């Protein structure tokens, strides 16, 4: 029968349309009919057939449409589901209620004709309205971008069986950390949005609805975005307003909730500050509000209040990895998945800006430079044919500081030093080293702009690269599926990631199948980079991160030309994470929107939670390094302390002479430059 052939297809065959598959389907159907009764075949069919909205089988349909088990359905609901197999889309109670009602009543009529129900039962069920709603499982943690990554990987592994095979997928994501990442990204984007002014109401209703029914109807097709609820302004006073949230609920907006809302003019300009509520909102305005916690306290708890808000136009992302094996602990691909399913962690190719300098400086250390090597931070014009003529780079501050030690240059993100450093090493030499961090040199620029992060990379690629600096110099690969279980089969897949083990022979394996992650970066190079990037937080471009109160964190801000991308890439021994803020269309974020202002707050909000109960432990200095007192102005070794002295860390073979300069760099031909004075 047709049903038996569908059972054969759904349980044992793919959906591929070939003569071989069709023949297999026929033979399997004959075998099934010889082995099973019609009742058993029907039971298999009903538990596997697609019934719309990702519901496979009547049990799943009962949960999706009614939030019940099959035995809890009433007659009308049972008839509704029974009518779906013929055309799950056409007769769907959520998307086509009139046709669904017609189909349900047809099923009830047939049940009456066949004697399964009497006339009274038929009439009672047929009189009931459509009661289906979209029910979803209770979500333990909000991670829709992760869920979509998992869905995609499952389909890649199992094709359409991913939906029907009875799989349970366990991910590497930590629920607490994921919630912190969600909040961090949203808070940072909300703050950026408020800094640049109010875009105005999403719509102005005219005439203004006056009845609850009319107000509810006006809000019906407006979904919540992130934590931002749609609302309609119904009253406006001098320094307050009242907004309607739906279903009879009203909220008050005080002056503190809306005084931020100067009109948006451009990313660099705002209009005049509002003087009263009428300067901000008017009756009939469709706005966004969210509940926030104020600094005012009642007892030990902060007081909640409602805040005027708006859907941010800028986008953001955050990803966190366990540097020991690449497990993704948290991932946020945007402000709201349902507003934009574009996953900016894995799909957005953005310029990393100064965040890429970490790899340039690591290359320099691998080629004879030291943290105390002096590079001139001065105006310069480079004649670079690949950049189509003369290039006049500048520091973000517009100032120049003369001879500068490498540590100081990285800490303060001096652009001219990075460019001269790259030119001194040679671009090909630097690219060979940068490839160790997992980047494909064929996809990177082969000119001096590489020093300022002009490459196009994803946040996930940056996190993977920074994991090497966090874990001691080992390359790990990000992954999100920890294991897969299947009904009746147990565990059918378990991840076996390459895992850091400093004392294990390279190429060896663990008993559970995991391999030892390969070392790609010298331990001394990694330690020096970690130390220099700790200074970025202690006294550089990311000093706000000191508020976390930890000594073990390190990182690098990143900002691109015209502030089109803002980053913070940071880590300790146990966790690496980066945050990115920018516009999808590559618009400017605006003056002053550097990585330390736009992106660092998201990273801090995340790390504040994620590093709870993780000991504050700094890396141990590996053999072959030593600490030496130097003159902070010249990098030269000194024998005693003084006003301008400090300790610096060197490879033992690079310790500067007591009366000489700080560890000279390789003897390389100077670049063709024109110094400007």
Which CATH number do you get for residue 213?
Answer: 2.40.50.140
If you ran DSSP here, which 8-state letter would residue 519 be given? B
**Structure tokens that stand for 504 in this block:** 């294990």
Task: Evaluate whether residue 378 is within a structural domain.
Answer: no
The pTM (predicted TM-score) of the whole model is 0.84
Distance CA 205, CA 152 (A): 41
211 and 122 within one domain? no
Task: Evaluate whether residue 635 is within a structural domain.
Answer: no
Domain holding 231, by residue range, is 199-309
Looking at 68, 97, 126, the residue that finishes a domain is 126
120 and 216 within one domain? no
9 and 116 within one domain? yes
DSSP helix/strand/coil, 345: coil
Distance CA 33, CA 95 (A): 36
Closest CA to 189 of 55, 311, 14: 311
- Per-residue pLDDT band at 666 (split at 50, 70, 90): very low
6 and 119 within one domain? yes
DSSP helix/strand/coil, 647: strand
For 195-216, the pLDDT digits (tens) are 999 999 999 999 999 999 999 9
The pLDDT value given to residue 668: 37
Task: Evaluate whether residue 15 is within a structural domain.
Answer: yes
The pLDDT value given to residue 562: 87
For 567-616, the pLDDT digits (tens) are 999 999 999 999 999 999 999 999 999 999 999 999 999 999 999 999 99
Task: Evaluate whether residue 384 is within a structural domain.
Answer: no
The tally of domains found in the chain comes to 2
For 38-92, the pLDDT digits (tens) are 787 777 777 878 888 878 888 889 988 998 999 999 999 999 999 998 888 889 9
For 269-328, the pLDDT digits (tens) are 999 999 999 999 999 999 999 999 876 655 556 778 999 999 999 999 999 999 999 999
Cβ contact 365:407 at 8 Å = no
Contacts of residue 640, Cβ cutoff 8 Å, sequence gap at least 6: 629
Which CATH number do you get for residue 106?
Answer: 1.10.3810.10
Closest CA to 405 of 552, 544, 551, 528: 528
Task: Evaluate whether residue 567 is within a structural domain.
Answer: no
Task: Evaluate whether residue 164 is within a structural domain.
Answer: no
Residue 671 has pLDDT above 80, yes or no: no
Task: Evaluate whether residue 180 is within a structural domain.
Answer: no
The pLDDT value given to residue 352: 98
Any idea which residue has 């507003």 for tokens? 339
297 beta partners: 302
Looking at 247, 277, 309, the residue that finishes a domain is 309
Residue 5 has pLDDT above 70, yes or no: no
Report the pLDDT averaged over residues 150-155: 97
Task: Evaluate whether residue 324 is within a structural domain.
Answer: no
Looking at 126, 154, 176, the residue that finishes a domain is 126
9 and 106 within one domain? yes
Residue 674 has pLDDT above 60, yes or no: no
The mean of the pLDDT values for the chain is: 91
């Amino acid at each position: 029968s047709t049903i038996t052939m569908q059972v054969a297809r759904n349980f044992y065959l793919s959906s591929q349309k070939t003569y071989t598959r069709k023949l297999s389907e026929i033979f399997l159907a004959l075998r099934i009919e010889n082995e099973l009764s019609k009742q058993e075949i029907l039971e298999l069919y009903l538990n596997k057939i697609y019934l719309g909205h990702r519901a496979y089988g009547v049990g799943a349909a009962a949960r999706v449409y009614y939030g019940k088990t099959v035995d809890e359905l009433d007659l009308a609901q049972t008839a509704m589901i029974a009518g779906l197999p013929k055309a799950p889309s056409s007769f769907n109670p959520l998307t086509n209620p009139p046709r669904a009602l017609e189909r349900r009543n047809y099923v009830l009529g047939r049940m009456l004709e066949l004697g399964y129900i009497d006339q009274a039962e038929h009439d009672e069920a047929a009189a009931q309205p459509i009661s289906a709603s979209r029910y979803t499982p209770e979500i333990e943690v909000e991670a829709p971008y992760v869920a979509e990554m998992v869905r995609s990987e499952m389909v890649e592994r199992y094709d359409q069986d991913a939906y029907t095979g009875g799989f349970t997928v366990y991910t590497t994501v930590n629920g607490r950390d994921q919630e912190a990442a969600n909040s961090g990204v949203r808070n940072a984007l909300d703050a950026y949005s408020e800094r640049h002014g109010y875009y105005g109401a999403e719509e102005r209703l005219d005439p203004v609805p006056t009845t609850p029914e009319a107000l509810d109807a006006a809000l019906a097709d407006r979904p919540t975005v992130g934590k931002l609820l749609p609302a309609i302004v119904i009253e406006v006073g001098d320094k307050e307003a009242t907004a309607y949230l739906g279903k009879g609920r009203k909220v008050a907006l005080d002056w503190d909730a809306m005084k931020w809302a100067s009109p948006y003019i451009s990313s660099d300009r705002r209009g005049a500050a509002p003087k009263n509520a009428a300067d901000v909102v008017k009756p009939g305005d469709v706005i966004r509000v969210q509940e926030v916690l104020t600094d005012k306290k009642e007892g030990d708890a902060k007081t909640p209040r409602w805040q005027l808000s708006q859907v941010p136009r800028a986008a953001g992302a955050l990803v966190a990895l366990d540097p020991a094996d690449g497990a993704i602990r948290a991932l946020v691909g945007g402000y709201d998945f349902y507003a934009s399913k574009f996953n900016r962690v894995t799909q957005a190719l953005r310029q990393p800006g100064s965040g890429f300098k970490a790899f340039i400086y690591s290359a320099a250390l691998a080629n004879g430079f030291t943290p105390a090597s002096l590079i001139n931070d001065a105006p310069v014009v480079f004649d670079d044919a690949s950049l189509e003529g003369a290039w006049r780079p500048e520091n973000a501050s517009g100032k120049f500081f003369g001879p500068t030690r490498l540590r100081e240059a990285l800490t303060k993100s001096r652009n001219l030093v990075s460019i001269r450093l790259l030119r001194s090493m040679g671009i090909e030499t630097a690219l060979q080293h940068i490839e160790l961090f997992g980047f494909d040199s064929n996809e990177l620029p082969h000119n001096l702009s590489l020093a300022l992060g002009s490459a196009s990379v994803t946040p996930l690629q940056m996190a993977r690269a920074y994991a090497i600096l966090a874990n001691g110099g080992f390359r790990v690969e990000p992954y999100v599926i920890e294991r897969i279980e299947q009904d009746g089969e147990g565990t059918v897949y378990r991840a076996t990631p390459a895992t850091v083990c400093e004392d294990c022979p390279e190429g060896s394996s663990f008993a559970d199948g995991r391999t030892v992650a390969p070392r790609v970066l010298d331990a001394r190079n990694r330690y020096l980079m970690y130390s220099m990037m700790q200074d970025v937080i202690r006294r550089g471009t990311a000093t706000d991160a000191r508020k976390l109160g930890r000594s073990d964190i390190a990182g690098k801000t990143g900002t691109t030309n015209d502030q089109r991308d803002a980053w913070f890439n940071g880590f300790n021994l146990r966790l690496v994470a980066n945050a990115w803020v920018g516009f999808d269309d590559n618009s400017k974020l605006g003056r002053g929107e550097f990585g330390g202002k736009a992106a660092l707050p998201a990273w801090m909000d995340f790390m504040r939670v994620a590093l709870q109960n993780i000991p504050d432990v700094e890396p141990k200095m590996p053999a072959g390094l030593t600490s030496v007192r130097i003159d902070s102005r010249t990098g030269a070794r000194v024998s005693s302390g003084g006003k301008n002295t400090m300790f610096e860390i060197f490879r033992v073979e690079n310790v500067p002479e007591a009366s000489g300069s700080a560890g000279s760099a390789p003897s390389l031909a100077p670049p063709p430059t024109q110094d400007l004075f």
